[in-house]
Amino acid sequence: MQVMAYGPAEFAEQEIQAAESLAPFLDKWPVVWVNVDGLGDAEAVRKIGELFGLHPLALEDVINVHQRPKVEPYEKYLFVVMQMLLAGERLETEQLSLFLGSNFVLTFQERPGGDCFALIRDRIRKNHARIRGAGPDHLAYALLDAIVDSYFPVLERYGERLETVEQEVVTQPGRETVPRIHHIKRDLLLLRRAVWPMREAINSLLREDTPFIARETRTYLRDCYDHSVQIIDMLETDRETAFGLLETYLSSVSNRMNEIMKVLTVFAAIFIPLGFITGVYGMDVPHPETAWWWRLPFILGLIGVCAAVYAAPAFLFLRWLWGVLGRYLLTTGMPRYENYPGEFKHRITAQPMGKGMLLNDSLTWDDLRVLRRMWPRTLIVKGILHPRDAGLAADCGADGIVVSNHGGRNLDSSMAPIEVLPEIVDAVGRRITVIVDSGFRRGSDVVKALALGARAVLIGRPTLYGTAAGGEAGAARAIAIFREEIDRVLALLGCPGIAALDREYLVPGNRNWTVP
């Protein structure tokens, strides 16, 4: 057992073995934190319960682990159960039982070591003004907040694993792909069973009026509750992604099987007639038409007709090969990039054209004005990342802009479009249409961009992934996933529709932003 007792000016820390040694700390110090590592000694747990006056049913929940996160009020204390994460080779949870009294916080950990309270212990030792000057309720909040925040890095790791598996599903799915997806789904389900009741437990601490939690501490608990809601949002998004990956994998495997069946069908269509003919006339038995002298030429001719029919597509391809490519080779030589400027009309077999094709520093905003005068229809400028450039594009007559870094292909350290989107919307949102793209992979990302003021969001790459996996049906499925996620996020936000989105749904109370 570890005891940390403190006040605004004094602090004591001690490892003790017997429950009887706790009584002097409770009589002397305003705040006493007793942490019990492991539940192997049932007699020691019983003695601690007698010292603190704990109810037998509460002690039973402490010893019988795998309890659902909950809050139970008693006359002299609050009993809180939470699930801590143990993220090793496999994801596991550990029950934490917390008792909050008038001058003590008593915690029971299911197994020794490996908790997420190291920073709290350091803050107490270093005389952090806020925690040392507050009561035991603030300490209980700090412990709960540490548990909640420990879920974020775990979910981020699972998000990275999902991205890796997604790339594998799209490019080269194998036998290990499905077990890997199922393993992630199982871990996410374990997290879901721990997070949802945890949010309700924290919410009950906010709702219920209890003398053990001060009004000031409730403000901090509200922030803890917000973090739990964020965790649920991330968790549900990852679970939807995992389900979508499984469907994408099945579509990919089905498409590969269809391609194989097409090849086999072609071979079967070629050889079945030939096999039938040779099988019938190749048997060493007499036939009625054996007296016919032309039987052998007839059979050979029939086989030749079948071969000609099946070889027709190949001859058509050869016709294109010699009629198109051959004509180029005989007249102008190897085909060139005819749609490029004269200095870049190299042969298609030449070396890459290098940076000269990528960079052109001769273009100015006057060229955009000329293009505006020449082009009477809608003109959209893509690649805007600064409000000043957005204003210049509007001054040159552009009807709209696309806030984009082109997916980071040219400069991977450029700013993310969603970071500069609010400033650009504030600058030109009332003058021209503002569209955004680059990096939007989820429906929640689309909702964020629309709430920040974008009129539309481009999601080209997810549909390309769907096309690569399942053709037109895969692209349609990718769009359907976005629609489902957008509807779900709007429902969780309590927003009636996309038209009602604004920045208040992202940053409540922030009046520095204006919605165009």
Close Cβ partners of 224 (under 8 Å, ≥ 6 residues apart): 141, 144, 145, 148, 202
Give domain status of residue 267, yes or no.
Answer: no
Residues 229, 367 within the same domain: no
* pLDDT tens-digit series, residues 220-235: 999 999 999 999 999 9
Give domain status of residue 66, yes or no.
Answer: yes
Q: Is the pLDDT of residue 418 over 60?
A: yes
Q: How high is the pLDDT of residue 509?
A: 41
* pLDDT tens-digit series, residues 134-144: 899 999 999 99
Contact status, residue 405 vs residue 416, Cβ threshold 8 Å: yes
> For 143, phi and psi rounded to 5 degrees?
-65, -45
**Band of pLDDT at residue 87, cut at 50, 70 and 90:** low
Contact status, residue 120 vs residue 98, Cβ threshold 8 Å: no
Lowest mean pLDDT among 199-203, 327-331, 463-467: 327-331
Query: Smallest Cα–Cα separation from 150: which of 206, 216, 194, 98?
Result: 194
Give domain status of residue 271, yes or no.
Answer: no
Q: How many CA atoms lie within 13 A of 460 on its CB side?
A: 7
- CA–CA dist 383, 89 (Å, integer): 43
* Residues paired with 95 in a beta bridge: 83
Give domain status of residue 303, yes or no.
Answer: no
Query: Smallest Cα–Cα separation from 48: which of 65, 66, 30, 26?
Result: 26
Lowest mean pLDDT among 144-148, 162-166, 213-217, 307-311: 307-311
| Domain containing residue 492: CATH number | 3.20.20.70
List Cα–Cα distances, 179 to 129, 166, 281, 334, in angstroms: 50, 14, 53, 49
> For 43, phi and psi rounded to 5 degrees?
-65, -40
What separation, in Å, do the N-terminal and C-terminal C-alpha atoms of the chain show? 59
Q: How high is the pLDDT of residue 171?
A: 77
Longest dimension (CA), the chain: 123
Domain hosting residue 376, numbered range: 363-505
* Greater model confidence, 204 or 174: 204
* pLDDT tens-digit series, residues 147-164: 999 999 999 988 988 988
Give domain status of residue 436, yes or no.
Answer: yes
* pLDDT tens-digit series, residues 422-439: 999 999 999 999 999 988
Q: Write the DSSP symbol of residue 72.
A: E
Of 233, 253, 282, at which residue does a domain stop?
A: 233
Exposure string of 122-160, with b = 16+ CB inside 10 Å and e = fewer, is ebbeeeeeebbebbbbbbbbbbbbbbbebbeebbeebee
Q: Write the DSSP symbol of residue 429.
A: T
Give domain status of residue 481, yes or no.
Answer: yes
Of 233, 253, 280, at which residue does a domain stop?
A: 233
Q: How many CB atoms lie within 10 A of CB 298?
A: 12
Helix, strand, coil content of the chain in percent (nearest 5): 60, 10, 30
Average pLDDT over every residue of 44-48? 89
* pLDDT tens-digit series, residues 374-411: 999 999 999 999 999 999 999 999 999 999 988 776 67
Of 202, 233, 264, at which residue does a domain stop?
A: 233
Contact status, residue 5 vs residue 79, Cβ threshold 8 Å: no
Q: Are strands 104-109 and 31-37 parallel, antiparallel or unpaired?
A: parallel
| Domain containing residue 45: CATH number | 3.30.460.20
Query: Smallest Cα–Cα separation from 368: which of 387, 389, 343?
Result: 389
Give domain status of residue 286, yes or no.
Answer: no
Concatenated DSSP letters of 257-326: HHHHHHHHHHHHHHHHHHHHHHHHHTSSS--GGGG-TTHHHHHHHHHHHHHHHHHHHHHHHHHHIIIIIH
Q: Which two tokens stand for residue 322?
A: 């010699």
Domain count along the chain:
2
Q: How high is the pLDDT of residue 318?
A: 60
Residues 376, 228 within the same domain: no
Give domain status of residue 116, yes or no.
Answer: yes
